[in-house]
Amino acid sequence: MIPRIATADPPFLPEIQSALDRVMPVGVPPLVLFTTLARNPRVFQRFMAGGLLDKGSVTLREREIVVNRTTARCHSEYEWGVHIAFFAEASALTPDQVRATVHGATDDPCWTKRESLLIQMIDALHDDAAIDDSLWAALRGEFDEAQMIELIVLAGFYHMVSFVTNGLHLPLEDGAARFPA
């Protein structure tokens, strides 16, 4: 696919460069997603302010399970691949678990009970834009109110990211993971 909007080129506006410096590791060029959004500084700033990659109320591993399942269900190989490349090792996702974020079922044996509930939640939100009462009760047995809010907002944010990456036909990042066959 050909990208629908070209990336912005450096030098970036100071506020955009500052945001890029905060999120990108030293020596790693900014992601195509970020440099494309930089074409609209207002949207870029709000996007960067809306992220949930900081230390939150859920673990890094739980966050990444939610992000990876959400982006996989939305067919955003771009965002899924970036998160696998940057966070799979740090979140201790095994090769089977990485595969299961794309192809696994909600009861895949590679997940703990708590992790399986996250997969069920993402699938329910993706399929129905809702969580039924029985799933909600099971989730609340594992996650407190603050965590539930964070998990749902996280899923929604990465739905939006998937819409952006897919809608703009962003090219896959060099070095990012690809969906397993």
The CATH number of residue 67's host domain is 1.20.1290.10
Domain, as residue range, for 158: 60-167
For 4-16, how does the pLDDT look when each residue is reduced to its tens digit (9 = 90+)?
999 999 999 999 9
pLDDT for 127 equals: 98
User: Do 64 and 99 sit in the same domain of this protein?
Assistant: yes
User: Do 65 and 36 sit in the same domain of this protein?
Assistant: no
The number of distinct structural domains making up the chain is 2
Q: Specify the length of the chain in residues.
A: 181
User: Do 150 and 68 sit in the same domain of this protein?
Assistant: yes
pLDDT for 54 equals: 79
Query: Average pLDDT of 120-139?
Result: 98
pLDDT for 1 equals: 80
Instruction: Provide the pLDDT confidence category of residue 51 given band limits of 50, 70 and 90.
Output: confident
Percent of the chain with pLDDT over 90: 94
pLDDT for 53 equals: 75
The rounded radius of gyration (Å) of the Cα atoms in the chain is 17
Instruction: Provide the pLDDT confidence category of residue 176 given band limits of 50, 70 and 90.
Output: very high
CA-based nearest residue to 178, from 72, 29, 97, 28: 72
CA-based nearest residue to 37, from 45, 25, 29: 45
Residue 179 burial by CB count (10 A; 0-12/13-18/19+): exposed, middle or buried?
middle
Chain mean pLDDT for the chain: 96
User: Do 41 and 66 sit in the same domain of this protein?
Assistant: no
User: Do 104 and 24 sit in the same domain of this protein?
Assistant: no
pLDDT for 30 equals: 96
User: Do 38 and 98 sit in the same domain of this protein?
Assistant: no
Rounded CA-CA distance 31/47 in Å is 14
Instruction: Provide the pLDDT confidence category of residue 168 given band limits of 50, 70 and 90.
Output: very high
Query: Average pLDDT of 59-83?
Result: 98
Percent of the chain with pLDDT over 70: 100
Element (H, E) at 167: helix 145-167
User: Do 118 and 153 sit in the same domain of this protein?
Assistant: yes
Helix axes 77-87, 145-167, angle to 10 degrees: 120
For 14-37, how does the pLDDT look when each residue is reduced to its tens digit (9 = 90+)?
999 999 999 999 999 999 999 999
For 154-164, how does the pLDDT look when each residue is reduced to its tens digit (9 = 90+)?
999 999 999 99
